[in-house]
Each structure stands twice: as structure tokens, then as C-alpha cells.
Structure 1
Amino acid sequence: MRKIVRDLGYSLAVLGVVIAAVWVYSYVDTERQYNKVYTFAVSPQLVPHDSESIARGQHFYNVYSCRQCHGADLGGTMLIDNALLGTIGTRNLTNGKGGLQEYSGQDWIRALKHGVNVTGKPLIAMPAHETALIPNQDLLDILAFCRHQKPVDRLLPLTPGPLFRILMAFGQIGPLPVAIIDHHRKPIKRVKEAASADFGANLAITCFGCHKSDFKGGASQIPTLRSAPDISPTGRVGHWTAGEFSRTLRTGVTPEGRRLNNKYMPWKRFKDFKEIEIQALRAYLLSLPGRADRNVKILDQTRHE
């Protein structure tokens, strides 16, 4: 019995050392990533103040999924509140306390195009690798909208927990957006609104956070989310007609009769999309490689809606 107790004590001691080593490595590695300072030159940005730009900014705030994370009042929301994963909130985008008063137009573009804050440190909870693909003018319109909203006094914590740090240090979360953005990409120009793949490409950036850059889906890097389905031409979406695609996004019910859970597939946000934007998104998805039957238009004309 004494030997068993001694061996158990040794095993627990070794396990404790391993856990401590993993934690120390994870903490040091993530602190290095979080505190690295980057410098990106951004040309002066003129933030519009006219009513038309503000109205466009409100529309883009909804369409580009800003509201999902930053809330209807723009004051920020809690993304994660968990003892192991941490307390991770989004930033207050208003001019209230805890807001973005210190962000100029240049700082705004630097954050959304390069993934760093005003001090040059990486943004942790901001998917800048997605917003980097949004036309600059759309982003400035969103800022114009933010600056003309009622100030909200709110500053949410951003404290990654031990499990979050361990998963990140060992490549199960991340990398940080600043590390994967093409920082030499030329400014992206606004595309004319049309039911076209080119226009849809801008709108689709809010999809690849879950459905991946090839839109074929797979396991999520966010521990609290489920795997996402294939929405490329090789998936079910590739066989839906224009009407079926639109009804799915409007009602949350697929042509096969499956009801989408808004928690995992936020279909309710598409109520803010114009019909031309929904069809542009579909046009882009159908333009991706992998579809065996390319006669999409013929199928749409002959298939019963």
C-alpha cells in the first residue's frame, strides 16, 4: 500500500510539472503574440458626414455582421464568458466612455485592414482578416454611422482564459488576424450594386469565418461553435434555385425542410439584406470552382420554384 501511495504521489507530481510547463509556455507564447507591436502606414482618411453616407453605413453595419458582435446599440457584447476560455468582449464603437473617441479615420482603417489597435498591438477578437476585404469606402461609411449614434458608456473585459491561451499557443485557435492578412493588398474599391459575383464577393466575406475561405465548411476554430456545412457549389446550396436560396435566408428553413438554428447559422441577419444582395451572394457562391453541372441558369429556368 505504501508503494502504491508513493507511486501515485510521483505520478501526480509529474502531472503537475507537465501542466505547469504547458501553462507557462502557453502564457509566455500568447503574451508575446498579444504584445507584439506592428507599424503600418495608412494614408489620411476622410470620414464622411453626409446623411447618405451615414445611411449606407447603417446598412453596411448590419450586412457585414458588425451588429452580431458589437450589438444593436454599438456598445459591444460578450463573445465568451467562461472560466476556462476567459471573458472576451467586443469593443464599444460609440463615442461614449470605453468607446472609440481616440480612433481617427486612419486608426479605423488600420484596425480593420491590418488588425491592430491604436498602439499597434494585435486585435484579438476582431476578425480583421475578413474586414480587410471590405472596400475602404464602405468601412468609412460604417465609421460615419458609428460617430452619429447615441454614445454608450461601456467597456467590456478582454481577458483570455487559460484554456484559450493553451489552445492558441498550440495552434488550435488562431493565428491572430494580423499574422495572416496580406498587408500589401491594394485598397479595395466599391463594386457597383448588382446581382453579380463581383458584388457578391464583398458580401461573402462574412461567411468564411465559419464556412472557411473555400466555403466548404468544416470544424470551427471557436470552441463554442459547431462545424459549418459546405456552401460552395459542391454542397447543397449549389443545387438550390434562386428562390430557394432566398427563402432559406429569409425564413431559416432549407428546401429540404431543415430548420436552421440562428445561434449557429445567423439567418435572421439576412432580413437586412436587399434581394439584389442575396442574389449577388448566391451568384458568387455558384461562381466558385467545384460544381459538376455549370448550367446554373438553365436549371433555374426549368426547375419548379
Structure 2
Amino acid sequence: MKGWVKWSLGGVGLAILLAAGAVVVGLELADDKMQRQVKVDVLPVAIAADATTLPRGKYLYDSRGCVDCHGANGAGREFINDGKGMRVAGPNISPGAGNVVLRYTPEDWVRTLRHGVKPDGRPVLIMPSEDYNRLTDEDLGALVAHVKALPPASGPAAVLELPLPVRVLYGFGAIRDAAQKIDHQLPPAKAVAEGVNPAHGAYVANMCIGCHGAGLSGGKIPGAPPDWAAASNLTPGEGSVMARYPDAAVFVAMLRSGKRPDGTAISVMPFESLRALNDVDAQALYVFLKTVPARAAGQH
């Protein structure tokens, strides 16, 4: 056999061995990350089930993404199943049999929702706590009050089946969990007056950062199935989709319908929640997005 053929075969073999070794290391790192302890000091919030708090909590639950993963009744639901090794389902959080929040203290709710950390100190892997980190104490308490007041429903624990490439990328840090993304030193957000203005729109826009990024410039959603479309650039920068929406009415119509102005359907977006946004929140979101700094698509 010619020398160059031997060298080529040897190189291929070495590359295979290195790749296999990288996979093994990545899986070990992923396991370590999933089991790591994240120390976060939290203070409890008031959880009051009264005539003002419960309707606000229901509105937040319906419009901020909770329903998409846990279902309207809180019993949990499957929301990713690509048939290729990725299957994810939210757990039962209603007061019914099998719920995972039965023994949650007020501090546990804050730690999980605001910081992406389970009561036992391990990171929450799928829930986008970065979207809820800036909830005010009042809104966080109202959201929890609604969940605790849901009618009991039976449901399973969470399902988290991730394909090997996703686990390896997570292990090497290419995919981060919420606890890695959140600045845990930030104090709770202060309430702003509701209205069609950028300040209130910025508060609403916190629900978008899990997919569109902290800078709202979009890009491939880390850890998502490979056939999912990239999140759109919501800034005025290169590759922005905002030019399609010349005014708030067109933008709000998209949130309500799940369709672009040309009638084509938008995939991936959580329209079950987005269409529940009231007019003030939806219009304020548009007003805010018109003020954000321009970034190229995917530039965080």
C-alpha cells in the first residue's frame, strides 16, 4: 500500500478516535453541569390569592409562555417531539397528583422562576427562566398564586430526552442553561406604569429573550431541533423582520393570527401565549421594539 494511503487511513482513524473522545468528554461534562449546585440567595415574595391578584396571575400564565409548556390546566404537555431523538414535555404544576411543586416554598418559587434553579440547587434545564427573571415581585407572586389556585389535575413529571449532539454541545458550553445566562445579582425589577410606551414594552419584551436573545437579534435557538427556523432579528439591524410591520396594528395582527402580513404562517413562535397578550401589552411591545439598538441578525 502506498505511503500516502497509509497516512490518509491513519489520519481518518485518528480523527475518529479524537471525535469519539470528544463525545465522551462532552457527555461527562454535560452530566456534571446538570448535577452542579448553583448557589442563589433569594427572598420570598407575597403570594396572595385575592380578587386582584388571581386575574393578573391568570393573565400572566396565559400570555407569558407558561401555557405553551404546562398546558392551560397546568397538568403538563409535550411541546417538542421531532421524531429524531428530541422529546421535551413540561411537568404537572397544578395541585393535582404527580405535580412537581407540591413542597415548593415561596423561596423555591422565586429560585426556580427568577433564577432557573431547582429547590435542590441544580439548574433547571429547559424552562426559560431568563424570560421571568425581570418579573416584578408583585407579578411573580400573582403568577404563583394562579398556579396554586388551579383545579387539581393529574399529570406526569417532566420529560427531557436530548439527542447526543445537544448534550455534547451543552457539556462544552455551546448551549447554556438559564442559570448560566441570568445575572443573579440583579435586584427585582421595579414596576412601571402600564401603557403604550417603550418602558412598559421593555417589560413585556422580557418574554422574548429566551428565543431571540438578550439583544433581541435572533439567530439559531440553542438546543432547538435542527429543523426549527432561526429566531428573527427584532432589532432594526441587518436581517430585521420589523420592516414587515410598518405600524402597531400590523404587528399585533401577526401576534393574534400567527401569520405574516403576506399570509404565510410563522413557525416555532408560541402563539398560544402571544395571542393572549392584551392590546396595551402588544402595542407597547411594538413601540419598544422600534427603539432598540440595531444589531445584525444573530449578533448578541
TM-score for both structures, normalised by structure 2: 0.84
Choose which of 250, 253, 258 in structure 2 pairs with 1:247: 253
CA distance in 1, matches of 2:63, 2:83: 32
Is 1:83–1:161's contact at 8 Å kept on the other side of the alignment? no
**Structure 1 Cα separation of the partners of residues 269 and 37 of structure 2:** 35
Q: Unpaired segments of 5 or more residues in structure 2?
A: 296-300
> Over residues 189-247 of structure 1, what are the superposed CA-to-partner deviations in whole Å (9 max), with x where a residue is unaligned?
22221111111111112222222222222222233221122222343425511222222
- Following superposition, the deviation at residue 48 of structure 1 comes to 0.9
User: In structure 1, what is the equivalent of residue 205 of structure 2?
Assistant: 204
Q: Tell me if structure 2 keeps the 8 A contact 1:80–1:86.
A: yes
Q: Which residue of 2 aligns with 1:157?
A: 159
Equivalent residues in 2 for 1:2-41, closer than 5 Å? 14=14, 17-41=17-41
In 2: Cα distance, 1:236 partner to 1:15 partner: 41
Alpha carbons of structure 1 residues 26 and 103: separation in structure 2 relative to 1, 3 Å: same
Equivalence for 1:276: 280
Equivalents in 1 of 2:158, 2:273: separation in Å?
A: 24
Q: 1:98 to 1:15 in 2, by over 3 A?
A: farther
Mapped partners of 2:8, 2:142: distance in 1: 63
Query: Cα–Cα, structure 1 residues 22 and 82, in superposed 2: closer, same or farther, change >3 Å?
Result: farther
Deviation, structure 1 residue 121: 0.5
Structure-to-structure mapping, 1:1-305, within 5 angstroms:
14=14, 17-81=17-81, 85-96=85-96, 97-153=98-154, 154-172=156-174, 174-224=175-225, 225-234=228-237, 235-238=240-243, 240-255=246-261, 257-261=262-266, 263-290=267-294
Deviations 1:169-202 (A, max 9, x none): 2344x21211221111011122221111111111
Kept after mapping to 2: 8 A contact 1:252/1:268: no
Q: Is the 8 A contact 1:89 1:157 kept in 2?
A: yes
Measured on the aligned residues, the alpha-carbon RMSD in Å equals 2.8
CA-to-aligned-CA distance 1:127-158 (integer Å, 9 cap, x gap): 11221122222121111111111222222333
Say whether the 8 Å CA contact 1:63–1:203 is kept in structure 2. Answer: no
Task: Provide the aligned length of Structure 1 versus Structure 2.
Answer: 287
| Cα distance in structure 2, aligned partners of 1:52 and 1:9 | 71
CA contact (8 A) 2:218 2:234 kept: yes
Letter in 1 for 2:166: F
Q: Which ranges in structure 1 are unaligned for 5 or more consecutive residues?
A: 292-305
Question: What's the CA shift for 1:19?
Answer: 4.6
- Counterpart of 1:249, as a letter, is L
Task: Give the corresponding residue for 1:301.
Answer: none
1:264 Cα deviation after fit: 1.9
Relative contact order higher in (CA < 8 Å, ≥ 6 apart):
2
Partner amino acid, structure 2, of 1:230 = N
Identity across the alignment (%)? 25
Moved more, 218-227 or 131-140: 218-227
| 8 Å contact kept, 2:131–2:207 | yes
